[in-house]
């Protein structure tokens, strides 16, 4: 961002690429969107509620009240007639936008100070490959809460370390949070999507890791 805060982070986790969009606030490093090369992606409203959720099968678009506005299936994974996906464009903030045209055409664009960067995080997953994907790991409510609080505690320890090493807030506020903390927060959000838990608990866990 023009402020110097990281806007988009692209990292490799085992055999896949992960694209993370963060809010323009280094103190919280709140995650606004998560795109994975295995076909799973999620975008969040500024308050942390789910906005768009996509998997290898299809996706859904929710309003800020949590009501489903649109739902679709990717053509190559849904035999027979299907409702075509109308292009979707959302602005995560004044600098980052997301355009969804097809399964293999999901663009994350960044525009600031007259310059633009664009990433295509779409992927083409065939029906046979999708059926061979391993089932997502499912954890209980207690395990998910413990993981979320663990990440939150590590985030607080990191802030304390920065305060001690750089007494001037103007200095330590400019230091990027460790990548491993961002990655752990992303993994917890993934587990929440796969877990059979209430929307209220899912929102609470997102608030903990994004606090």
Question: Tens of pLDDT along 42-80?
Answer: 999 988 888 999 988 888 898 888 888 888 888 765 555
Q: How confident is the model at residue 93 (pLDDT cuts 50, 70, 90)?
A: very high
Greatest alpha-carbon span in the chain: 63
Tell me the whole-structure pTM to 2 decimals: 0.62
Compute the distance between CA of residue 187 and CA of residue 122 in angstroms, rounded to an integer: 20
Q: How confident is the model at residue 89 (pLDDT cuts 50, 70, 90)?
A: very high
pLDDT of residue 91: 94
- State the chain's mean pLDDT as an integer: 79
pLDDT of residue 16: 79
Compute the distance between CA of residue 16 and CA of residue 165 in angstroms, rounded to an integer: 35
Task: Evaluate the CA torsion angle 163, 169, 170, 174 in order and state its sign.
Answer: positive
Contacts of residue 2, Cβ cutoff 8 Å, sequence gap at least 6: 95, 112, 113
Contacts of residue 193, Cβ cutoff 8 Å, sequence gap at least 6: 40, 42, 53, 136
Compute the distance between CA of residue 42 and CA of residue 91 in angstroms, rounded to an integer: 14
Q: How confident is the model at residue 118 (pLDDT cuts 50, 70, 90)?
A: very high
Question: What six digits make up the tokens of 30?
Answer: 């709140």
Q: How confident is the model at residue 139 (pLDDT cuts 50, 70, 90)?
A: low
pLDDT of residue 176: 63
């Amino acid at each position: 961002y023009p402020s110097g805060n990281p806007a988009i982070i692209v990292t490799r986790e085992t055999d896949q690429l992960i694209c993370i969009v963060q809010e323009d606030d280094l103190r919280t490093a709140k995650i606004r969107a998560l795109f994975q090369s295995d076909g799973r992606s999620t975008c969040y409203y500024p308050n942390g509620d789910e906005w768009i959720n996509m998997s290898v099968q299809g996706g859904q678009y929710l309003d800020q009240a949590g009501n489903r506005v649109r739902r679709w299936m990717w053509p190559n994974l849904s035999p027979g007639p299907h409702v075509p996906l109308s292009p979707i464009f959302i602005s995560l903030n004044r600098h980052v936008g997301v355009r969804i045209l097809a399964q293999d055409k999901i663009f994350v664009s960044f525009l600031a100070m007259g310059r633009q960067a664009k990433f295509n995080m779409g992927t083409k997953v065939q029906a046979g490959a999708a059926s061979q994907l391993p089932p997502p790991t499912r954890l209980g409510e207690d395990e998910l809460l413990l993981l979320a609080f663990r990440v939150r505690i590590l985030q607080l320890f990191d802030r304390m370390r920065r305060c001690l090493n750089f007494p001037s807030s103007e200095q330590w506020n400019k230091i990027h949070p460790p990548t491993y903390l961002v990655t752990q927060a992303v993994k917890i959000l993934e587990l929440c999507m796969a877990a059979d838990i209430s929307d209220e608990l899912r929102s609470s866990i997102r608030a903990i890791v994004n606090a």
